[in-house]
Chain A
């Protein structure tokens, strides 16, 4: 027969639940970690682009400051101020001032134009911009209501006539001292001017689309890297989107829009907003490597967790397996196979309890076997004694006849009493007898004793129960009476008295034997009374000296075996003797089932 090694049920369940919990934990933690890592990584990547966008924004601010300072210098320039005064400039100064603007500290100026408050225009020598051109261009409206703020505006070049869209810088030019009409100064900037903004972040422009949008949402500059794939284009409505999102904020920190992440920095002074658009592809390619590492870590964690689960499940269930095998393989004979565990857990307690239980069973079995042996011996003796009772009765009859013939009254009485006594003692099988039979037996015994010990004692029997219908265990009174004669009257030669009474109280039957002899010794009395609380199996050991106490042990053992722990035997020393009481629970008693 092939032996298959079955794994423990507990281990299976342990592994099942551990696997379920581990799976759940890994699932949830992986979800959590992935989400967190994704958010953090995205944030990190977006922060980088946001920082670069902010740098571009600050560059834009600085460029605006630069143009503000440069145009302020222009305003404060003596000839410019002179041009605003009533007298204006002389022709030579007019020419000089026209050239002056070409040499100001501002790069990427494509063209310029200054008109004083008298309609005189100052431009490059080859330029033919007239005062009417300036009025017709409508550029004055871009200067707004401010007194003399520098203005940047992106519009079609209707001033210099190129008709292309360009960034213009304009400013009112006011007199230092007088409330004259202001002049106006305009610079048209080349594309390279704004490109300076994007050029400061080459890292950004390699990966992201960048651009500049004005207050109206016009795209002043837009630049996308060459490696932008199909579908990765900047949203078509980027200008409108930027204006909408930047209505009430200066910085847009990496907001997810269709196809990517948008960061914007708005420069309030110039009115332009710098934006960067990072496509999802850029974000994802950074994330993938992180995710791969995470997956590897999770696989490793899973493998380790499985191995450890199996190892620990085996470690935990092995003692249980030992207990299970020891208990299931116990054949009822081998009490030497005990459980020896040292797990420092509750299992050790179970093992010790099992071992204790095994010892108890072994002891009980030994007791049962001993009792069986005793019982067999008793039965054997009984059988031997019943070999031929008729022969005994016939013999007694013969002796009785001989005594009668010889007129030996005492002998006759003794034989009669003996005959009655033996009738109950030798009656076969029946363990339960009527009170009447029991009293008859003890009366016979007492008569025999009276013959043997002339004038030693007298007796009296008081039966308060129905003697015919009340049944009790047989031969329980005779040993008590025997003890009364043997020990109670050991110090007297006459005047002894034995009173036997039978009564029923509270559903129990009480058989009392009183003798007026020497009171029972205190120690003996306590020993006997204590026997009532002892286990039946231990009663036989109460009297080490087998010659004494056998009768009491016999009565109590039989009573406890027959009636259970409710039965009892008590002795009570009194001033003038001793009273022994047998308690039989259950009233009239039951018939012997035999």
Chain B
């Protein structure tokens, strides 16, 4: 009896084991659902400096990706383009609806910038700034004011600090010394004398160009025009109604004069050529902003100095950096892009604090000069790029400036062509 019972138990156990084994064998092996990454990608396109190979804003991007690891990831496409090419690409990307979430340099294209606002292509940032007291506290009032539109809305990230938004003149101390010049000229008269002296010593005084809104010569010419009260008022005008006035003619004449002190390859070239000429010792001066400090090659750091334009003038428009968020992205992406703007603001603030508290002996001479100039209550002249119409900047200047400097066109004709651009612009508007 016991044996039978045992056998039955054994048989049942074997059957159960078989069933279990088979059940286990039959069970489909479904992969465990893994944790889906919820990291949101923030598409950004940034440039690589064609002269130095430095990735612009790389520190910011690395800091952002580290700080917001797992939540946001700035997905940057680094492109080797000049600033002008980058700006033109912005337009192309806009019409093909392929803009990245975060764009820069927008303010350099005034009409495009306003078109973007009108078409609802860029995000109004007040909601992000107002909701974030910390960010708000970091923003310099002058920077916020420059970014604010007439109706109070803010489309450009107030990321900059006025301290880093100024442009003046970088000059080669060694070449100056060769010409027997010990310091940078303080008046425009001295400036022209300086140019003359350099030239007489076989040194090309200025590194200039005509493409890319003629940035370098226009900086000098607009700074010079502001030396008169009328000229200073002219530079404050948004979309001037005419250039056929005293200030317009003065700018044209200055431009004509400037190009008599520059290199032969300045025509139809962009800023990168001028940069190369200056940092190869072929020219003694190049106008540009604080941001060029990082681009000064190491071996040139002891030779290069910085000064305000004569008569203590600096060109400054903090909004020129023109960082904006594209509206067509999701709220999550836009929120991440706003966080990137905030981080940029913080890093700029920290950089300013660091710069101002830095031991001058640790700075390069140009940096020391910049701080001294900035603290010396300079006259700030608005950047023409944020004031003048885009047809003039992007089309007309590139066409007429070479004509002017080659004396193929008179200053009067030059200003007339400038006014024509105003008409065209108004038509399109």
Q: Is A426 close to B, CB under 8 A?
A: no
Residues 105-153 of A contacting B (Cβ, < 8 Å)? 146-149
User: Are A175 and B19 in contact (CB-based, < 8 A)?
Assistant: no
Q: Interface on chain B toward A: helix, strand, loop, or mixed SS? A: helix
Count the A-B residue pairs with Cβ separation under 8 angstroms: how many?
Answer: 81
User: Are B96 and A75 in contact (CB-based, < 8 A)?
Assistant: yes
Q: How distant is A265 from chain B, measured CB to nearest CB, in Å?
A: 20
User: Are B15 and A24 in contact (CB-based, < 8 A)?
Assistant: yes
Q: Is B92 close to A, CB under 8 A?
A: yes
User: Are B390 and A177 in contact (CB-based, < 8 A)?
Assistant: yes
Q: Is B130 close to A, CB under 8 A?
A: no
Q: Is B241 close to A, CB under 8 A?
A: no
Residues of A near B391 (CB, < 8 A) are: 177
User: Are B95 and A35 in contact (CB-based, < 8 A)?
Assistant: no
User: Are B97 and A146 in contact (CB-based, < 8 A)?
Assistant: yes
Q: How distant is B180 from chain A, measured CB to nearest CB, in Å?
A: 49
Q: Is A535 close to B, CB under 8 A?
A: no
Q: How distant is B333 from chain A, measured CB to nearest CB, in Å?
A: 16
Q: Bin chain A's interface residue count.
A: 20 to 34
Q: How distant is A450 from chain B, measured CB to nearest CB, in Å?
A: 72
Q: Is B14 close to A, CB under 8 A?
A: yes
User: Are B328 and A147 in contact (CB-based, < 8 A)?
Assistant: yes
Tell me, in angstroms, the Cα distance from A29 to B14 when the chains sit together: 13
Residues 83-119 of B contacting A (Cβ, < 8 Å)? 91-92, 94-98, 111-112, 114-115, 118-119
Knowing A86-B427, A146-B328, A147-B328 touch, does A28 contact B22 (C-beta < 8 A)? Answer: yes
Knowing A17-B7, A86-B428 touch, does A177 contact B97 (C-beta < 8 A)? Answer: no
Residues of A near B28 (CB, < 8 A) are: 39
User: Are A147 and B22 in contact (CB-based, < 8 A)?
Assistant: no
User: Are A179 and B118 in contact (CB-based, < 8 A)?
Assistant: yes
User: Are A32 and B15 in contact (CB-based, < 8 A)?
Assistant: no
Residues of A near B390 (CB, < 8 A) are: 177
Residues of B near A20 (CB, < 8 A) are: 11
Q: Is B26 close to A, CB under 8 A?
A: yes
Knowing A32-B26, A86-B427 touch, does A176 contact B14 (C-beta < 8 A)? Answer: no
Q: How distant is B394 from chain A, measured CB to nearest CB, in Å?
A: 8
Q: How distant is B25 from chain A, measured CB to nearest CB, in Å?
A: 6
Residues of A near B428 (CB, < 8 A) are: 85-86, 177-178, 180
Residues of B near A178 (CB, < 8 A) are: 111, 115, 428-429
What per-residue 1/0 map shows which CB atoms of B1-29 lie under 8 Å from chain A?
00000010001001100110011011010
Q: Across the two chains, which residue of chain A brings its CB closest to B114?
A: A179
Residues of B near A176 (CB, < 8 A) are: 91-92, 94-95, 112
Complex A-B: 27 CB contacts under 8 Å: A17-B11, A24-B14, A25-B14, A25-B18, A28-B22, A29-B18, A32-B25, A35-B26, A36-B26, A39-B26, A72-B96, A76-B95, A85-B428, A86-B427, A147-B94, A147-B119, A147-B328, A148-B96, A149-B97, A176-B94, A177-B91, A177-B112, A177-B390, A177-B391, A179-B118, A179-B119, A180-B428
Please name the 6 residue pairs, one residue from A and one from B, whose CB atoms are nearest each other, closest first.
Answer: A32-B22, A179-B118, A179-B115, A72-B96, A148-B97, A176-B91
Chain A residues within 8 Å of B, Cβ to Cβ: 17, 20-21, 24-25, 28-29, 31-33, 35-36, 39, 68, 72, 75-76, 85-87, 146-149, 173-180
Known: A72-B98, A86-B427. 5 other contacts (CB 8 A): A31-B22, A68-B96, A147-B119, A178-B115, A178-B429
